Structure 1
């Protein structure tokens, strides 16, 4: 089995800490290992075979963090000169494998709190994948979330006995009323962005549903530059920029999962979050008790329920409630809790004003 770690995301929703040069998966958000480091440690138990798909500019930090948590660990790094979404990244990784190889695909910027439940879900997903299904992990919704896509399932007894369900449909991010209606049926799950399948099965399905992605990826793969890491502990595969640009940019959901007739979902619940906003960071820190940790650069007087992410500069609060404050050497962001999804608007404004050095 091979684990494919997707680590090409930009993490702009956690600006100003997460930047193009150092996306959120490589940042210390939870007073401990980074999300990338946690992802490696969480999944190393399933397989010694590791492929990391990343932007070429993040190779050094990814390699450093991998060595930190798993010294002398051998891995293959697929370096992308530009992001083309998840379908091309997964396709390039699968082209490196035997068609019968079981594959577990995981993002590097998610958090999972219950690792025992996660291990159980992975084992169930691998069983379904070995039967020839394209498997996605469906998270039991905790509330009517409008920021996630949903998966509708068939609830037949045979599927229940196998501990997975056949997928009826993928749904885009809903409005509040629709999300509440989804949850009321008991047949909908959050789309986690994690997958399991046989490498050859995925490529065959991709050839049926998005042949242009497969053909362009195969062309890029054939002329990719390959080199061995010092000490022989891994391989670096660099995709040429011109060929990478020619691969259509599509998500695996849109390119394959939504169109295939052979998709299954494994229902699971393991304390998951994609940490897609500062409010999500607050929620996870609260659940895990991290918010109670005192940081020397923060002074709080008569203030409560605030999320403060500081740099070396002192941050002092007096009589303040329910704020998010993120202080970095060149930018300060302040938001009310509950409104941090709007950080993306700041990023867009900075782009419009040409202040790319702040992105």
Structure 2
């Protein structure tokens, strides 16, 4: 019987005392309980060819459990995964699906759906950022999100300190702005020009970009995270920011309160999102849905005064579930279902 290989890397803040991510070995054991052999391999660039050949010859599927922040050689790792998929190993997920669903500019690709506001932009160059952001900020509070980073780092709520004059369509470069970072909800005050220069660091370098979208004040009511196994919502995490007036971050580190719900408690959101999932998949490249991924939503109000849900982010590179390790059994069942669907075609 061929194995399911779980990829990890050595070290990193996401590891338990045994050197593995806390949610990896529960999945391995859950598969073994179902008579499916599985093992963990630590990716090392120096052993890339050895690892590739071993997995190609011995694995029916791989599951990537590497946090990109812990991966020094992401391009080489992704290229190995592409080659494994081309060789017939079932990818969970395919590396291009990780990029398609996980990159912040996925929001821009979906802005013509009801999931994302039309005035959502991606900046890939400093020039387009500096040309467009003063115009978008003139329309109201904005949120800037870097593509790299995690736990709210490089996600900024940007507000004008003083209102614009009537008819002004562009914020002056010397305008005072209030900037709150989601990492810890700390506040800084800058002139717009200086802050945009500071943000250049998020655009330069590999995978650099900034996403610019409207700030949604109902984030104070909480962010709703759908925990997905392919096309199945398994769990919902309601993440309510701290009560501080400036707090808008929904991370534990920033003081948000988490509540775990059933998808049945959010049936309107779930049905609405699943109803658009085929379109989402098509717009993001047509790749198979990731094995484990999340979609984060924020409440908004439509023109009729009705609740609507706005997609704020998706993650799929290495979504953890250490707070609810019993979900490892759900994941194991989904892995086996995916293998059976793919191998039997």
Q: TM-score, normalised to structure 2's length?
A: 0.25
- The structure showing larger relative contact order (alpha-carbon pairs under 8 Å, at least 6 residues apart) is 1
Task: Report the TM-score, using the length of structure 1 for normalisation.
Answer: 0.24
